[in-house]
Amino acid sequence: MAVWLNSTVNFVQLFIERVPTGWFKVRGYTFADLKILSPKKLSDKEKKMMESTFNEISKQEFPCIWKQIAMNCKPGLFSPEWIRRLAEVFNEFDEWLGKNFEPRRKIDETILTILGYNTDRIKKIQEWLYPTLLKEIYILKKLNRVDMGS
């Protein structure tokens, strides 16, 4: 379940359910309403896929989430204005943008495959999801509502 809990799909869910304070908090009672993959409903093939992904990425060091996401964003997806804005809020943004962080992609590809998406659709989801989420984190950081690492 570590793969699910560390997926961007789950992160978005937590982002939506967070308490709107100066901290990124999720209250205990909201966990009962969160969606999670049921191990009982996963096929043997899906369980092996999750286990393989976990084994592949579990020993790797992960930078903070905004860096993981920025690394997997294509620079051309942002206007020059957005590049400027993001660089104002995220330390060394230009150095991280588009560098590719395969463990993040691998986690998300595994989860989206299990959810029934094909490779082409997964790439389109990631191409939309990563920059959209990065902009949302930017907005919250700008409002001093969340600390997503430096």
Q: For residue range 100-125, list pLDDT tens digits in order.
A: 999 999 999 999 999 999 999 999 99
Domain membership of residue 18 (yes or no) is no
Strands of the chain (E only): list them: 19-20, 24-25
User: Each residue of 30-54: pLDDT tens digit?
Assistant: 666 778 888 899 999 999 999 999 9
* Spatial separation of the C-alpha atoms in residues 97 and 74, rounded to whole Å: 7
Domain membership of residue 31 (yes or no) is no
When pLDDT is averaged across residues 14-43 and rounded to a whole number, the result is 68
For helices 119-142 and 102-114, angle between their N-to-C axes, nearest 10 degrees? 120
Find all residues with CB under 8 Å of 84, minimum gap 6, and list them. Answer: none
Find all residues with CB under 8 Å of 74, minimum gap 6, and list them. Answer: 98, 127
Domain membership of residue 33 (yes or no) is no
Question: Where does residue 119 rank: exposed (0-12), middle (13-18), buried (19+ CB within 10 A)?
Answer: exposed
Roughly how many angstroms between the first and final C-alpha of the chain, as a whole number?
27
Domain membership of residue 86 (yes or no) is yes
Range of the domain at 107: 1-10+44-56+63-150
Domain membership of residue 20 (yes or no) is no
Domain membership of residue 35 (yes or no) is no
Question: Where does residue 27 rank: exposed (0-12), middle (13-18), buried (19+ CB within 10 A)?
Answer: exposed
pLDDT reading at 136 higher than 70: yes
Domain membership of residue 21 (yes or no) is no
pLDDT reading at 87 higher than 90: yes
Domains held by the chain: number: 1
Domain membership of residue 67 (yes or no) is yes
Q: What is the mean pLDDT of the chain?
A: 87
